[in-house]
Every structure is written in C-alpha cells, then in structure tokens.
C-alpha cells in the first residue's frame, strides 16, 4: 500500500483527512521527506472518538482545527497504536525500528493535537510522521504489550483517569485541596452506559482509592443491559464497590430515587457523560456537601450553559469543573492497569472495521449503537458489530473464526481475535 520512506525521500500513504465541516475524505497522498529529527509511524489500530465527530462537524470552527484546513487538510484520529517504522538520526539512541508505541494526544503546552491539527500526524492513516517538537515533549511512548487494540483503548481510559484526577475536595480548617475522587465516597456517572461510561465504571472498580458506591444512569435498556453484562454488580461487589445501574426514565422522581441510594446525603463526585442541560442540572442538585461535579462530556456548542445552584456553591462548598484529556502519568497509569489485567479495555469495544469504514463511521458516530468502534488501518473491512460475527460466519470463514475467538473471551474482542484478523489480511 505504501513505499518505505527513507530520509529525504517521499512516499504515498493512505489516510482519512478533514477538509472542512462535514468534509472527510479517504485518499492517497504524499508524505513529505522524513527529517532527521522526525519519526515515521506505521499505524495498526485507532479507536473512534466522539471528539472526532465533533471536530468533523465543526471543521475550522473547532478550537484545535487550523483555519486553513480547506487548503491544508489534517489527518483525523487520535487513539492510535502501531509500530515505529523509521527513526531519524536524532532519535536513534532512544527509539528503535520495530518497537510498538503509544502516543500522548494531549501535547503539553500546545492547543494543537494529533488527529486535529497536523497534515501528516494523525491516527487514521497507514503511515504518519510525528514531528520533532512533539517527540521532545515526551509524547511518543514505547509499549511492550502484545496487542494493538489495548493501546488504542488506553487513550480513552487515560481521559477517564484524567477526569477522576481532576476532581477535588477540601480539607476542613485549611485551604488545602485534596485531588481526585473521594475514597469511600458516593460517585455517580450520569449518562454512563456508553463506551466512556463503561470505561469509567471499569476504572472506578480498579483504582487504588475506590469509592464505596458507584451509581450509573442511562435511559436506554439495551445499553444498561450490555453494561451490566460486562461489568456486573456481583463483579463490583467482589472489588469492594456497591454498584447500581438505573434507568432514570422508569422512575417518576428520578432525583429523589438517586438521592435515596445515598440516604439523602448526595454524591461526593458527579460525572456528566452527556452534554445535556437537564443532565448537568440534575448532577448539580445531586451533589453532597463538598461535592465536585465534572462536566466530562465536551459540548460542541460553544454557548452551552445550564442553571447552577450558587447558594450551594457558597454554603455547601460544591464545585463545578470540566476536564479534557489528561497527563502523561494518566496514560502510563492506563497502560499499567491494562498490562496488569486490572482493566480490560475490550469492555468498551463493540465494532471493528478497516480504513474504508472511517469516514462514514465518523460522520454517523452518534447514530451507530454500541460502544467503541475499533479500526484497523492496514485493511479494508466494513464496520461490523461483534454480535454479528456468528451470523456472518455462516458464509464467511474470517467471521466464523472471529466469532469463535470472541466466544472464548465472553463475547469480547481479544488478542486472539486481533491476531486472526491481521494474519488473515497478511499483516502479521
């Protein structure tokens, strides 16, 4: 698909680029000559993010997208993993060809980010070039694991960890702020049965300073059913956490019921996982004394607002914050939890596909049910739900093998399934 890129030479790659609002194109394009202070990455997988949908909806109106994107399109995608293909002379002592990598998408001190701002640095391409200044900021990490999908899914987990670490509480009689969610407290995730919400529940059950109670709300029974299947109340109890899944539409007074689960005390940590005004206002009312509410879901509307109780802010020490992304330590923590098998990122993944599925899937992401959509960049494959493998397997040998591999992993994507897919397409 692509020629090897030598220092000073040129090659063509295949990728998905943004040209403007709603204008996303799969195309072949030429990479510039690799400089001696750059590194060429071969991308194997990228998981699709709602943030990319927001980016593609807004185009140049997005804060991270350059104004001249129409003339200089950017590669989309920022949850990617793969193999270091070529190393410029400056970095040969630090990085080796053939090593697996992870990328920190939040570049310290920069608004620009891979998948939003760079013409040759993003996750939805077969090859991309990571610039020198991004490498110098420590954003290219070596990874010693044996799967690609786990690294792609580590990026959303890093955002979740960043959100949990962004919350804070206060110490009586001092001005000291205690970072993180409250150990032994009550935590609620509003709109939390989508892929990011499931990831947040998984992290709450794996973190060192766990809450005593986690409540997760949604208004869709099928999403709640899948969340309960992959992270059950019984599993949470074994990890020392009381877990509740609540369909708020089935309660005449959902607020009263949610408060009753805390004996009327409210929630120490509130996470809003959908940018809906009514949900944010509910979260504001559910906070306990010294509670902290995190608007985790980023709105696409720059004028998004809601009514907040400032009396409680004054007298009950309630706090309202937002968070986006995380730090390098958050990403390293995500990779650690995955490698130690304390978290299984596959609980978030419900679909797989190839590079040909990226553009359409990105533009329709809110309409497609299920969790994370995982893309393998070196192959062509229509976006396919894991739950459809058995049906498709009756006429397709690949899906027959994938169905068996996922059955052996409780219906989840896994290392064996990834290897079957890549070997089938000659990528391993």
Does residue 371 register a pLDDT over 50? yes
- Give the tokens for residue 342: 């304390």
- Asked whether the whole model's pTM tops 0.85, one would answer yes
CATH class of domain segment(s) 157-322: alpha beta
- How far does the chain reach from its first CA to its final CA, in angstroms? 15
Is residue 342 within 8 Å of residue 334, measured between CB atoms? no
**For 254-306, what is each residue's pLDDT tens digit?**
999 999 999 999 999 999 999 999 999 999 999 999 999 999 998 888 899 99
- Radius of gyration of the chain from its Cα atoms, rounded to whole angstroms: 22
* Buried-exposed string 342-380: b where 16+ CB fall within 10 A, e elsewhere: ebbbbbbbbbbbbbbbbbebbbebeeeebbbbbbbbbbe
Tokens 């947040």 locate to: 200
Residues of the chain with CATH 3.90.180.10: 11-144
CB neighbour list of residue 403: distance below 8 Å, 6 or more residues apart? 389, 390, 392, 393
Residue of higher predicted confidence among 161 and 9: 161
Give the pLDDT of residue 10. 76
**For 209-267, what is each residue's pLDDT tens digit?**
999 999 999 999 999 999 999 999 999 999 999 999 999 999 999 999 999 999 999 99
The 3-state DSSP class for residue 319 equals strand
DSSP label at residue 365:
G
Q: How confident is the model at residue 172 (pLDDT cuts 50, 70, 90)?
A: confident
Query: Got the DSSP string for 234-282?
Result: HHHHHTT-EEEEEEGGG-TTHHHHHHHTTTT--EEEEEE-S--HHHHHH
Share of the chain above pLDDT 90, in %: 93
Task: Quote the CA–CA distance of 142 and 132 in Å, as a whole number.
Answer: 16
Assign a CATH topology to domain 11-144. Answer: Quinone Oxidoreductase; Chain A, domain 1 (3.90.180)
Q: How confident is the model at residue 11 (pLDDT cuts 50, 70, 90)?
A: confident
Is residue 253 within 8 Å of residue 274, measured between CB atoms? no
**Angle, vertex CA 422, rays to CA 419 and CA 424, nearest 5:** 105
**For 14-67, what is each residue's pLDDT tens digit?**
999 999 999 999 999 999 999 999 999 999 999 999 999 999 999 999 999 999
């Amino acid at each position: 698909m692509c020629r090897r890129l030598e220092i000073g030479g040129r090659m063509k790659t295949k990728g998905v680029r943004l040209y403007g609002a709603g204008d996303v194109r799969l195309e072949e394009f030429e990479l510039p000559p690799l400089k001696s202070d750059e590194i060429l990455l071969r991308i194997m997988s990228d998981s699709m993010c709602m943030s990319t949908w927001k980016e593609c909806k807004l185009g140049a109106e997005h804060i991270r997208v350059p104004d001249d994107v129409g003339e200089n399109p950017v590669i989309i995608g920022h949850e990617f993993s793969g193999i270091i293909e070529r190393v410029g002379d400056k970095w040969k002592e630090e990085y080796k060809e053939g090593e697996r990598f992870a990328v920190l998408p939040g570049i310290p001190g920069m608004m620009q980010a891979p998948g939003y701002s760079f013409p040759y640095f993003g996750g939805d391409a077969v090859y991309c070039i990571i610039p020198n200044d991004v490498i110098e900021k420590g954003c290219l990490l070596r990874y010693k694991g044996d799967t690609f999908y786990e690294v792609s899914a580590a990026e959303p987990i890093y955002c979740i960890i960043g959100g949990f670490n962004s919350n804070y509480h206060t110490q009586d009689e001092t001005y000291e702020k205690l970072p993180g969610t409250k150990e032994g407290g009550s935590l609620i995730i509003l709109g939390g049965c989508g892929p990011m919400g499931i990831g947040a529940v998984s992290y709450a059950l794996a973190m060192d300073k766990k809450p005593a109670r986690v409540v997760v709300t949604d208004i869709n029974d099928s999403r709640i059913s899948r969340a309960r299947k992959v992270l059950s109340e019984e599993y949470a109890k074994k990890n020392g956490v009381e877990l509740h899944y609540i369909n708020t539409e089935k309660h005449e007074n959902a607020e009263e019921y949610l408060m009753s689960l805390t004996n009327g005390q409210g929630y120490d940590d509130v996470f809003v996982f959908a940018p809906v005004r009514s949900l944010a206002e509910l979260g504001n009312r559910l906070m306990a004394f010294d509670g902290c509410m995190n608007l985790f879901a980023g709105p696409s509307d720059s004028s998004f607002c809601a009514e907040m109780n400032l009396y409680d802010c004054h007298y009950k020490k309630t706090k309202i914050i937002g968070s986006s992304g995380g730090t390098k330590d958050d990403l390293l923590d995500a990779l650690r939890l995955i490698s130690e098998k304390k978290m299984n990122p596959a609980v978030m993944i419900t679909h797989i596909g190839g590079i040909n599925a990226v553009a359409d899937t990105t533009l329709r992401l809110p309409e497609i049910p299920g969790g994370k959509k995982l893309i393998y960049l070196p192959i062509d494959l229509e976006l396919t739900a894991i739950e459809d493998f058995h049906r498709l397997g009756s006429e397709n040998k690949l899906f027959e093998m994938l169905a068996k591999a996922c059955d052996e992993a409780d219906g989840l994507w896994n290392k064996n399934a990834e290897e079957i897919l890549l070997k089938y397409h000659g990528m391993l």
